[in-house]
C-alpha cells in the first residue's frame, strides 16, 4: 500500500476505497493531465464508469485534482499542488496549462499565473482558464 495515497485521502477527509486508491495512483504515476477516457481504460473493468465519474467529482470537490482546459471535448484532470492552497486562503487554479503539440500532453505550469482580467462594468468574474500550446522542454531537447 502506497503511504502517500493514504495520507492524501486522510488529509482531505476521505475514506480509503479501492476505486479512490486506484485512480489516485494513476495521477501520482504521471506528471501530466489525464483524460477521462484514459482513466476509464486504465482501470478497465475493475471500476465501472459511474464510479470513475463519481470519484473524479469527489476529488475535484476536495481539492485533490482540478479540471484542466483542453482544445477537445474530452475532460482532463491534473493533480493539485501545494500552490493551489497558497494566496488568499482559498483553493485556486490561476496557473497556466501547457499543451505540447508534439507529445500531446498537457501539464500544469504552477509558477506561471494567468494575468488579472478586468471585465466591463456589470460582468461578474468566476474563473479564467488559459491553455498555452507549444513544444514542451522534453520534446524540445529531444
**Beta carbon nearer to Zn ion, 2 or 102:** 102
**Beta carbon nearer to Zn ion, 43 or 80:** 80
Question: Phi first, then psi: what are they for 90, rounded to 5°?
Answer: -125, 155
Min dist CB 62 to Zn ion, Å, is 10
Q: How far is CA 138 from CA 53, 94, 130, in A?
A: 31, 24, 21
Whole-angstrom distance, CA of residue 99 vs CA of residue 51: 28
Binding residues for Zn ion restricted to 63-122, rule: CB under 5 A: 66, 78, 80, 84, 100, 102-103, 108
Beta-bridge partners for 65 = 79
Annotated binding residues for Fe cation: 92, 94
Binding site for Zn ion (CB under 5 A): 66, 78, 80, 84, 100, 102-103, 108, 136, 139
Amino acid at each position: 500500500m502506497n503511504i502517500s495515497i493514504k495520507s492524501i485521502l486522510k488529509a482531505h477527509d476521505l475514506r480509503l476505497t479501492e476505486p479512490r486508491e486506484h485512480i489516485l495512483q494513476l495521477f501520482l504515476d504521471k506528471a501530466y493531465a489525464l483524460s477521462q477516457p484514459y482513466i476509464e481504460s486504465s482501470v478497465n473493468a475493475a471500476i465501472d464508469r459511474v464510479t470513475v465519474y463519481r470519484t473524479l467529482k469527489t476529488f475535484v470537490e476536495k481539492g485533490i485534482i482540478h479540471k484542466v482546459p483542453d482544445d477537445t471535448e474530452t475532460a482532463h484532470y491534473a493533480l493539485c499542488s501545494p500552490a493551489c492552497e497558497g494566496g488568499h486562503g482559498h483553493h485556486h487554479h490561476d496557473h497556466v496549462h501547457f499543451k505540447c503539440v508534439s507529445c500531446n500532453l498537457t501539464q500544469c505550469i504552477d509558477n506561471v499565473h494567468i494575468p488579472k482580467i478586468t471585465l466591463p462594468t456589470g460582468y461578474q468574474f468566476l474563473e479564467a482558464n488559459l491553455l498555452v500550446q507549444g513544444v514542451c522542454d522534453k520534446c524540445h531537447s529531444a
